[in-house]
Amino acid sequence: MGHDLKALAELYKNALLNDVLPFWEKHSLDWQQGGYFTCLDREGKVYDTDKFIWLQNRQVWTFSMLCNQLEKRENWMKIASNGAKFLAQHGRDDDGNWYFALTREGQPLVQPYNIFSDCFAAMAFSQYALASNEEWAKNVATQAYNNVLRRKDNPKGKYNKTYPNTRLMKSLAVPMILANLTLEMEWLLSSETLENVLDLTVREVISDFLDQERGLMYENVAPDGSHIDSFEGRVINPGHGIEAMWFIMDIARRKNDSKTINKAVDVVLNILNYAWDSEYGGLYYFMDAEGHPPQQLEWDQKLWWVHLESLVALAMGYRLTGRKECWEWYEKMHDYAWSYFADAEYGEWFGYLNRRGEVLLNLKGGKWKGCFHVPRALYLCWQQFEALSSQKQ
Amino acid sequence: MGHDLKALAELYKNALLNDVLPFWEKHSLDWQQGGYFTCLDREGKVYDTDKFIWLQNRQVWTFSMLCNQLEKRENWMKIASNGAKFLAQHGRDDDGNWYFALTREGQPLVQPYNIFSDCFAAMAFSQYALASNEEWAKNVATQAYNNVLRRKDNPKGKYNKTYPNTRLMKSLAVPMILANLTLEMEWLLSSETLENVLDLTVREVISDFLDQERGLMYENVAPDGSHIDSFEGRVINPGHGIEAMWFIMDIARRKNDSKTINKAVDVVLNILNYAWDSEYGGLYYFMDAEGHPPQQLEWDQKLWWVHLESLVALAMGYRLTGRKECWEWYEKMHDYAWSYFADAEYGEWFGYLNRRGEVLLNLKGGKWKGCFHVPRALYLCWQQFEALSSQKQ
């Protein structure tokens, strides 16, 4: 393929600024009631007005992050603020826990049944506080972060359906998101908390969830990191494992810890080899580590975020290590992702393809896809190629 | 196609007695610990030993029902008893609510987070009590039935994640299963309870969940039966609606209520027209009533039970009304189901096909597919064609 690094940086920058952000700027704003519409069809038309807290917070994060990293555009601040104010007013219950879903008007629909809403709130309000310099936003961020720390050992609280003690199991999602979140909130945390949490979470991810022998990330393991022979214990979520690995690279980079960076790259490459669909291309969504039928019926589908996180991991891995395998895999993934997911006709990216790469759900946003993975990955890939092309000059 | 009714009765009888039951008799029995293995691969090899209460109870039901309806084979009683005793010992918490899952040994894994485990326990133990004439089994059945009545207005109890009162919604599954269950338990209930519950549930299904104008069954509606414009409120589950309609036919038949029977047949035919995949054949798993992208990623897959319930509804509808459209649709559904789902090589039926009818999960049993829908439908279709062929003689 022979990609030119400078052209790649341009491609990502252009897609972010002239395609993806305008799509959300144009179609997703609820100026009337506050917050965002995330259920957008292929052309951007709103087909459902419920407000899902993950996606509301993630859109606040995206526009605030761009204000902090690129430029403080008035329009971006206005968009971030439209979500942040709506969320600060309606997003939490009396104990300060973040709901899962609200009506368009902000009435609660679904209770705070896990801590991920709080994670995304912490990320969103940390970026928004930095961009807006508003003290109240800082407080919202800190409170959400403390919720996560407080609830992390029992993230579902009273909604946890697991019978106590029969089969103890912990999930990758918790340390993984805590690691990324803590790095995001660096400016708000004491350096002691920062280093402690990063150390602990990275160690937990690498020592407990990574199967060193197989080079695969497991979604759920026993508290001591051993495997559990059950549906949950056997499940591999390749996109999640790859995303976790670029979080690790990002953290290791701060200390020039090239050993950890190389290990993370090894795992990315190994997961890609394992999860690549040699018949139709793309990465499977779920697999069973023992080759049994997975319980997820959507296991063979190709999802936008899985492929975007892979592009980020490979571009970052290549930038940090220069390893040839990263580049080779990057080119393969680039060809697949840009041909199948990017919608040349109406803009933005498709979210859900079937195994053959045909569009399965004709939407740009829904209950789980919002203004987050696409712009974040485009931004990060742009930055990696920008850095690479200046290195090579 | 020109099916001969007698040959059809033979086909179903033979598939039930010489293919499907032997598959479960041979591969699913855990004689050591009690109960059944339901996670069986294509050939019948056990790939997971967890015991899911729905499926454990359903297998007790199947073998007990056959003892009651066909003949009291010693082997069938032994199989039913192996499950019933395991379940009576391990299946319930201290309050008598049925867990969702156990380990192979019977240790609880997943709490009683909804009432369907109790529904299937009531069905199972009612049939088992009738077959075994055991007083303790009768008590287990009655207790489970009372759990369902007690919990039916808040079926998820403390695990309910919906915020109270913002958007009141009720689900078809509850009255539908209660109707079928009550009919099953006729012999154990007072005639007053029987008639009351049947009247109420049938009326609720027909007046609230059936959209008279569109002729479609909705999965979730407001308490007054009106539609709710949300993902849950728009979802159509064609297989579920069709199954509900044969439950209604079965109940209406007791009173020779041909008006209700014909209405149920109309709805079946209408759902089939709506949900048939004109490109690849078969019925979709989920649809959005307004044509928006459904939230279920597996929406376009072809599931065994959807097609088997359709065969039952059409055979029953044809038997009870003689309507030509039932026969025409029966033939179409027969061709699809028998060509794509029945596994000529290793026996039993595949459970999960992709939209094109290719095998998606290479299993005969799992967390949701056990010894239930296939044998029940084969038995019921056999009975319908048996009755039809004697009528016609």
Contacts of B363 in chain A (CB under 8 A): 293
Hey, what are A63's tokens? 């526009």
CA dist., res. B305 & res. B314, Å (int): 14
Of the residues B106, B130, B161, the one at which a domain ends:
B161
B342 shares a domain with B207: yes
- Contact pairs from chain A to chain B, CB under 8 Å: 103
pLDDT value, residue A1: 46
Distance CA A122, CA A140 (A): 7
Q: Is B109 on the interface with A (CB under 8 A)?
A: yes
| CATH code assigned at B173 | 1.50.10.10
Tokens encoding A115? 């801590």
pLDDT at A393 over 80: no
Phi and psi for A254 in degrees, rounded to 5?
Answer: -60, -30
CB distance B357 to B282 below 8 Å: yes
Least confident interval from A169-178, A294-303, A325-334, B72-81: A169-178
Q: Is the CB of residue B45 less than 8 Å from the CB of residue B364? A: no
Does residue B9 sit in the same domain as residue B42?
no
Does residue B137 sit in the same domain as residue B236? no
Same domain, A173 and A147: no
Domain count, chain B: 2
The C-alpha torsion from B13 through B14 and B18 to B20, rounded to 10°, is: -60
Tokens linked to B27? 């591969």
Chain A CB within 8 Å of residue B345 CB: no
Q: Is B110 on the interface with A (CB under 8 A)?
A: yes
Q: Is A229 on the interface with B (CB under 8 A)?
A: yes
**Structural domain range at position A204:** 1-27+169-393
Evaluate whether B60 touches B50 at the Cβ level (below 8 Å): no
Q: Which pLDDT band holds residue B28 (cuts at 50, 70, 90)? A: very high
Q: Which residue of A has its CA nearest to B303?
A: A297
Note whether B154 and B175 are same-domain residues: no
Last residue of a domain, one of B144, B161, B178: B161
Computed on alpha carbons and rounded to an integer, the radius of gyration of chain B in Å comes to: 20
Q: CA-to-CA distance for A185 and A123, rounded, in angstroms?
A: 7
Average pLDDT, chain B: 96
pTM reported for the whole predicted model: 0.97
Tell me the average pLDDT across B167-178.
94
User: Does one domain contain both A320 and A364?
Assistant: yes
CA distances from B113 to A229, B161, B366 (A): 23, 11, 20
What are the tens digits of pLDDT across the range A205-260? 999 999 999 999 999 999 999 999 999 999 999 999 999 999 999 999 999 999 99
Q: Which residue has the tokens 């979802």?
A: B235
pLDDT at position A392: 65
Q: What is the gyration radius of the CA atoms in chain A, in angstroms?
A: 20
Q: Chain B residues with CB inside 8 Å of A166's CB?
A: 103, 107-109
Dihedral sign, CA of A301, A364, A115, A187? Answer: positive
- Asked if B159 lies within 8 A of A162 by C-beta distance, the reply is no
A145 and A205 share one domain: no
Interface probe, candidates B97, B165, B166, B288, chain A, greatest A C-beta count within 10 A: B166
The reported pLDDT for the residue numbered A312 is 98
- B146 with B187, same domain? no
Identify the CA nearest to A319 among candidates A10, A309, A311.
A311
The minimum CA-CA distance between B244 and chain A, rounded to whole Å, is 24
Identify whether residues B33 and B23 lie together within a single domain: no
Q: Which of A116, A139, A161 is the last residue of a domain?
A: A161
B121 and B214 belong to one structural domain: no
